Structure formats: C-alpha cells, structure tokens
Amino acid sequence: MTPSAPSPLSPAHCPVLVVKVGSALLVAPEGKVRREWLASLVADIAERIKAGQRIVIVSSGAIALGARRLGLPKGGRASLEDAQAAAATGQIALSQCWAELLGEHGITAAQMLVTLDDLEDRRRFLNASATLRRLIALDVVPVINENDSVATEEIRFGDNDRLAARIAQAAGAGGVVLLSDVDGLYTANPKADPDARLVESVARIDARIRSMADGGSASGMGSGGMLSKLEAARIATSAGAHLAIANGTHEHPLKRLDETGRCTVFTAGKQGKGRKLWLAGRMTARGRITVDAGAVSALAKGSSLLPAGATAIEGKFARGDVIEIAGPGGEVIARGLSEYDAADAARIIGLRSDGIAEVLGYAPRSALVHRDQMVLL
C-alpha cells in the first residue's frame, strides 16, 4: 500500500476499525506500561475519531503487567494458575491506563473481556456483537482483551491476532490493523535474506503465502507469530474486512502508517451473511468429515454434502454441531452444521440417499451437511 494510494483502512473508506496492540509494544521489558508510546497511539486514535472513524481496541498486556506487580517468575507464565492470577491483577491497571489516556481526549472507554467460547457459541456471539455495536453507536471506544483469568489452554484464543479478527466480525468492522514489530509479511526472513521483499498486498491466502510464514521465515517473529496473523487475516477477510500488518514500534504508529503506507494489506473477500459469517470465523470444530474428489467438486458448485461423497468420520459430534469438511489430501475446504450425529454419520458414509433408511431405519435428511448450513473456506 503506497501512501499516495487511497487506503482501505482510512476513515473515508472504513467506518469502523479494529486496532490490535500486542504486549511487546505496550509493556516494556521491566514490566511497566510504555506510557509515552501509548499516549502517541491514543493521539492517533483521537485524530481518526475526529475524522469520523469509530475505533475498537484489542489490547494485550494484562499478564505482563500483573506479573510485575505480583513478582511472578517467567512473566507470569510459569503455570496456568500464575497466568490467571497475573491477568486478574494486571487487567485493572491496563484498563485504567487506557481509560485515562482516552479520557484526556474526551473519549469514553469501555472494557469487554471475552473468551473463545463467547465467540464460538452462536447465541453468545450475537450477544457480544449487540453490545459492541451499541457501544460504537454511543461513540464509546471498546477496549477488549481475552479473559485470561478464567480461560484455560483448551478454551482460549492464545493470541490476540485472531481475537481481533473475530471482534471485527462481531462489530461489523471494515478493517483491522495488527500493530506488530515488523512491517508486514516478507517473502523470506529479512534478517537472513537481503533479497527478502515486503509483500504489500495479498488478495488470497494460498499455499504460496502460507509458505512465507513457515519456520519463522517470513517475519523474524517466529512461525507462530506470523502464522496466527495469517489465520487472523483469513477470518477478517472472510467477514468482509481488510486486514493490515504494520510496524507499531515507533511512536504515532497509525499516523506513520498513513504517511508511509508501509504494511501488508490482506484485501477483503465477498462478505457472507449471518450464520455463514460466524461459521467462517470459527476456530474450533467438534469433528471432521473427509470427502472424495467428486464431493469437493460438487461442494464448489454449491451442492450439499451427501453421504455418497463422504469417506471417513472423525470426532464425537451431535446433530447441529460445527464440523470441518476435508478433501482427500486432508485440507479443510468447508465448515458446516452436521445433520447427523457422528455414530449415524459413520454408518451411512458412501451410501446413496435412497439407502439411508435401510441402514438407519429412518431417513429424515438426505444430506450430511446442507448447503444452507455450510461455508466454503
């Protein structure tokens, strides 16, 4: 994205923007808030609000701040219990800091703490979405973090990149900025390869793009860091939101982004609606159905998944649970709501629809996953 080109994340083109701030940017190594840097970011946010853009903040830092106050080793991550205690302690300080700095510009802040379950469960997702949209309508800036004081390793986002993308979906945002310690996605590790180039725009996240993030080769942040950002980009773009990875290490990072345009922008795809949007953004599934090449082709043309095209069933799921649909090579191609539980699904794979009743004794539904309850990935 060049500075002369119109930015899809500008106030003129993006009415609601989610800005994600990581712990490394917000908290100094000794465990104190980088207050001058944060004040510069808040000043940038205030300017965007004056220009008519509404901002949602996804902020890390609670565990790092709490660990210092409690004197916990390893930054509060020596154990799950330490991390939960540090998060509970640090979240108060973090929220107070945001509220004070935003308040200096006459901006009201609101705190929302969410867990993975809050956004994976359909009803709770809708509740969170309603709250976010009402706060935005009231000209309030929501400051959101994962509720690490109650989240466990099994039910947590684990990083705020993907949380920011899901929040963008819930808020109906048109864009996401992930402030990082690098300029964006590189073709190779810029620290090791002098020929590495910044990828300025990505229209589709395919195998070539994913390979740039493997083994820490893309960003110098470690493979997990950039891989989680690619997953965040997939979630955001499937919800119709652009996503940018930009360098946040300098003061006034949003102003600098406007002036230089230096970042990687993942451009939004066609936006789905309602339940399909929620399905596309989900990070968990109860099970998996593997299908043959013929079924892959049929699904791409808009068909439902019929038992005849299924080759294997994995997991324990009930009717109505979210499941993944994978191609012959194991790649996940779709996600949807199962019309059968796992036991019955396993009994009818490979069968034509007219043979289901003979096996099960009933045949209420011809499809394993109906096209209206499915989203292609």
For residue 5, the model assigns a pLDDT of: 62
CA-CA distance, 46 to 364, in Å (whole number)? 56
What 10-15 contacts at long range (C-beta under 8 Å, 24+ apart), as own/partner pairs, is 10/53, 10/258, 11/48, 11/51, 11/52, 11/53, 12/51, 13/174, 14/53, 14/173, 14/174, 14/175, 14/242, 15/52, 15/53, 15/54, 15/174
**pLDDT of 274 over the 70 cut:** no
224 membership: H or E segment, kind and range: helix 223-238
d(CA 365, CA 202): 40
Instruction: Report the SS3 class of residue 296.
Output: helix
Closest alpha carbon to 262 in 239, 249, 244, 275: 244
Classify domain 16-277 at the CATH class level. Answer: alpha beta
Band (354; pLDDT cuts 50, 70, 90): confident
Q: How confident is the model at residue 113 (pLDDT cuts 50, 70, 90)?
A: very high
Q: What is the pLDDT of residue 155?
A: 46
Average pLDDT over residues 194-223: 72
pLDDT for the residue 158: 67
Q: Outline where DSSP puts E strands in the chain.
A: 16-21, 54-59, 109-114, 141-146, 175-180, 201-202, 242-247, 263-266, 287-291, 310-315, 322-326, 332-337, 374-376
Rounded to an integer, what distance in angstroms lies between the CA atom of residue 63 and that of residue 69? 10
pLDDT tens per residue across span 297-349:
999 999 999 999 999 999 999 988 899 999 999 999 999 899 999 999 999 99
Confidence band for 216, pLDDT divided at 50, 70 and 90:
very low
Of 52-56, 124-128, 165-169, 343-347, where does mean pLDDT reach its minimum? 124-128
- Greater confidence (138 vs 285) lies with 138
Confidence band, pLDDT 50/70/90 cuts, at residue 279: confident
Please state which CATH class domain 285-376 belongs to: mainly beta
Q: What is the mean pLDDT of residues 279-290?
A: 85
- The ranges assigned to domains in the chain are 16-277, 285-376
Alpha carbons 75 and 83: distance in angstroms, whole number? 8
State the Rg of the chain over Cα: 22
Task: Determine the Cα–Cα distance for residues 34 and 131; give it in Å rounded to an integer.
Answer: 30
- Which pLDDT value is given to residue 99? 97
> Token digits for 208?
């070539």
What the block records as the tokens of 107 is: 């901006």
Q: What's the pLDDT band for 1 if we cut at 50, 70, 90?
A: low
